[in-house]
Homo-oligomer: A and B are copies of this chain.
Amino acid sequence: MAIYGTVEMGGTKTSCALGSSPDDLSQELTIPTTDPSETLGRVIEHLATGSPEAIGIASFGPLELRRTHPEFGRIRVTPKEGWTGVDVVGPFSQALGIPIGFDTDVNGAVLGEWNWGAGRGLGSIVYVTVGTGIGGGALVKGEPIHGLSHPEMGHITVRRHPDDDYPGACPVHGDCLEGLASGPAIEGRHGAPGERLTGEVLTKAIGIEASYLAQMARNLVYTLAPERIILGGGVSRMPGLVERVGEGLASELAGYPGLAEHRDGFVVLPGLGRLSGLAGGLILADVAFRSSG
């Protein structure tokens, strides 16, 4: 691949870098995601110094991704102040005059993991990030799923764990999956962020968290039939959580459809660690570059 720019925009911080693969990323810069013009301006200025051939942006959403839609390239209604309706693609195109790829943060991550990480060699995988929010990107035959807008997997329903009376942290739905299993939900329920819990409280927190993520994994298996589910984000690194989700999934599936492939190594951590999103941005850039020619 040529040298591309890659941008991962999160609600809290934005990272960018130049390169052609996760192994040769250079000039990595991480800044807080403040107001749109400052944030986008700093990233554009930084990447411009490397003269990339194209840029791929993997962003928090919801986004307008339909190319024929008048709002294409913008962020839709978001609780993040000042960002509703913001044009993300436009400023990059106008400043640099190069092809710009654009997709959700999790669609970026799933592409990165598929090309270089835990999804290599597979055709159909799902990447779910569990952190401040919960979101998922699904790849079928090597392409992220888009339809009317894009998936927002954090907002599915789950059944309450019998020991959980936490009301839920989702500003829209209260106790949807994100409302019960995101980082803020763990903090709200147990009084401290997941990484600061210890002893019995930590054990209880992991048990509840695993039960919600296992329900999610079950619903993904029955809806998408993926070959692997990759769990990213800060919460997924709680000790032993991913293994517990795998066990919980087996119990949720209850032997149906009885595929051996669902047993070991079906729910895994990202192969690229924290680089899945930036790696995916390189693919988004490459796709934009190739389709511009």
Interface residues on A, range: 35 or more
A120-161 interface bits toward B, Cβ cutoff 8 Å, 1 = contact, 0 = none: 000110000000000010101101011111111111111100
Main secondary structure of the interface of A (DSSP, over half): loop
Contact B223 A224 (CB under 8 A): yes
A151 and B224 in contact, given A140-B145, A157-B159, A218-B156 (Cβ under 8 angstroms): yes
Counting CB contacts under 8 A, is A226 at the interface? Answer: yes
Q: Which residues of B contact A21 (CB under 8 A)?
A: none
A257 and B62 in contact, given A148-B124, A148-B226, A223-B223 (Cβ under 8 angstroms): yes
Contact B222 A155 (CB under 8 A): yes
How distant is the Cα of A257 from the Cα of B224 in the complex, in angstroms?
21
Counting CB contacts under 8 A, is A227 at the interface? Answer: yes
How distant is the Cα of A178 from the Cα of B252 in the complex, in angstroms?
14
Other-chain residue from B141, B156, B215, B262 in contact with A222 (beta carbon distance below 8 A): B156
Nearest CB on B from A71, distance (A): 11
Counting CB contacts under 8 A, is A80 at the interface? Answer: no
Counting CB contacts under 8 A, is A219 at the interface? Answer: yes
As for how many copies of this chain the complex holds, the number is 2
Nearest CB on B from A179, distance (A): 11
A248-270 interface bits toward B, Cβ cutoff 8 Å, 1 = contact, 0 = none: 00001011111101100000000
Nearest CB on B from A249, distance (A): 12
How distant is the Cα of A76 from the Cα of B260 in the complex, in angstroms?
13
Counting CB contacts under 8 A, is A31 at the interface? Answer: no
Nearest CB on B from A68, distance (A): 11
Nearest CB on B from A133, distance (A): 12
**Most chain B beta-carbon neighbours within 10 Å: one of A143, A150, A155:** A155
Nearest CB on B from A24, distance (A): 31
Counting CB contacts under 8 A, is A77 at the interface? Answer: yes
Other-chain residue from B77, B138, B256 in contact with A173 (beta carbon distance below 8 A): B256
Other-chain residue from B157, B159, B225, B254 in contact with A145 (beta carbon distance below 8 A): B225
The chain B residue sitting closest to A215, CB to CB, is B157
Q: List 18 A-B contacts (CB under 8 A).
A: A77-B256, A124-B148, A145-B225, A147-B227, A148-B227, A148-B259, A149-B257, A149-B259, A151-B225, A153-B222, A155-B222, A155-B256, A156-B219, A157-B157, A157-B158, A157-B215, A172-B254, A172-B255
Q: Which residues of A contact B (CB under 8 A)?
A: 62, 76-77, 123-124, 136, 138, 140-141, 143, 145-159, 172-173, 215, 218-220, 222-227, 252, 254-259, 261-262
Instruction: Identify 18 new A-B residue pairs, CB closer than 8 A, beyond the known A157-B218, A220-B223.
Output: A77-B257, A77-B258, A136-B223, A140-B140, A146-B225, A147-B227, A148-B259, A149-B257, A149-B259, A152-B256, A153-B222, A154-B222, A155-B218, A155-B256, A156-B222, A157-B158, A157-B215, A157-B252
